[in-house]
Structure 1
Amino acid sequence: MVLLDSYIPLIIPAIATPALVFFIKGYTDGAISGSLIEAARIDGCNEFKIFNKIVLPLIFPSVATMSIFTFIQTWNNFLIPLILLFDPKKFTLPIMVMLARGTYKTEYGAVFAGVAISNVPIMIAFIFLSKKIVGGLTVGGVKG
């Protein structure tokens, strides 16, 4: 089967989880007022332009927040890659950290190095996306 021993089944399910959809829907209901959409329609904007120019910049903090959460959850996922990946060259870092533990003796240097290396991409993603979250909080719309 093409999905076994590939990264596709690790990435695709994380794109639209139910928690992500409900969080962004709730944030959108609170951040976007109907009068703002009506004003854009009166000004002659079509639906595509309303979404891209008005709605998306206002809900970007929620998208950035959920991107951080989804990235961390996917990056630290252990069970699904353990089941679906067979080639040791394709193992994720959590699996490699688990394999660094020996059966009878644990090499703590290798384990701690793996944990430190696996935290670097999470910190980089958080640093870049947290600026977008804080910057998006100052973007205002219409008073509700």
Structure 2
Amino acid sequence: MLKTIPSILSPELLKILMEMGHGDELVIGDGNFPAASMNSRVVRLDGHGVEEILKAVLQLFPLDSYAPNAFLMEKVAGDTVQTPIWASYETIAKAGDPAFKGFEHLERFAFYERSRKAYAVVATGESALYANIILKKGVVV
């Protein structure tokens, strides 16, 4: 055990966060996200939701202050599902890092393509729809 490191962050995820450099991206996918087919580096946190993982990650992970740094998968045209989790993400991100610039929305297949190029994907048990998020790593100053 270590002090001040959120216990939800597994040793495998901590290693990945440390390996990542400026501009690398981390995907946190909901329970429906096709993590294994998107990226070869997948960390499973199945029993947890994205909100608690996002909060824990942002305690250690600096967001990029030079570029857009947070992305959501936009809803498919015509889909009427509600996305209240997005407001929660915004609250968490604002509190978690002053470099947070707001969310950019990516079309579903553009989000998938970006996920393929990401450094890693965290697979969660999140049941909310459209609860996928990408974070771009910044520098520690």
TM-score (norm 1): 0.24
In our comparison, the structure showing a higher alpha carbon Rg is 1
- Which one scores higher on RCO, CA 8 angstroms, separation ≥ 6? 2
- The structure with the greater share of residues assigned to helix is 1
- The structure with the greater share of residues assigned to strand is 2
TM-score (norm 2): 0.24
